[in-house]
Amino acid sequence: MKPEQLEAAKERLLKMRREVIREVQKSQEAYKELGQDGVPDIGDMSSTSYSRDMLMNLSEGQRQLLRDIDAALERIASRDYGECITCGEEIAPRRMEVRPFSRYCVECKSEVERFGE
Ligand SMILES: [Zn+2]
């Protein structure tokens, strides 16, 4: 990958990272608010637990996303970015645009999904 492409990818990843962190902070605040409600009315119970589960799932997904973003930033630093970690082929630029933290080319990704990582 060309240095300017790496630079653009880095910008995009850092922007994504900031957005995820902002989302996490927002959901943490919402979570705290739910916790400060005290004992909910029986009628509200199910909706409250649903919201808590939803927030917890959300932050787990976000933690995974942050790990993926950080790993991609490391690959930029070591100049491995944009190459498939399995076969070493360059990952299609279109794919890197959609998912800038992709580690596999399309072919290897489908293998991974079929057989596990
Ligand atoms: Zn590959």
pLDDT tens profile 64-114 = 888 999 999 999 999 999 999 999 999 999 999 889 999 999 999 999 888
Residue 9's pLDDT band, with cuts at 50, 70 and 90, is very high
3 CA → ligand 1 middle, Å: 22
107 CA → ligand 1 middle, Å: 6
Q: For residue 17, give the nearest of 84, 93, 57, 72 by alpha carbon.
A: 72
Q: Tell me how crowded residue 108 is: count the other CB atoms within 10 A of its CB.
A: 17
45 CA → ligand 1 middle, Å: 48
Residue 90 CA, distance from chain mean position: 21
Q: Rounded mean pLDDT of 40-54?
A: 52
* Fold entry, domain 1-81: Helix Hairpins (1.10.287)
Where along the chain do its domains lie? Answer: 1-81, 82-117
34 CA → ligand 1 middle, Å: 45
Which pLDDT score, from 0 to 100, does residue 22 have?
83
Which pLDDT score, from 0 to 100, does residue 48 have?
52
86 CA → ligand 1 middle, Å: 5
Which pLDDT score, from 0 to 100, does residue 117 have?
60
Which pLDDT score, from 0 to 100, does residue 39 have?
47
* pTM of structure: 0.71
Which pLDDT score, from 0 to 100, does residue 63 have?
78
74 CA → ligand 1 middle, Å: 19
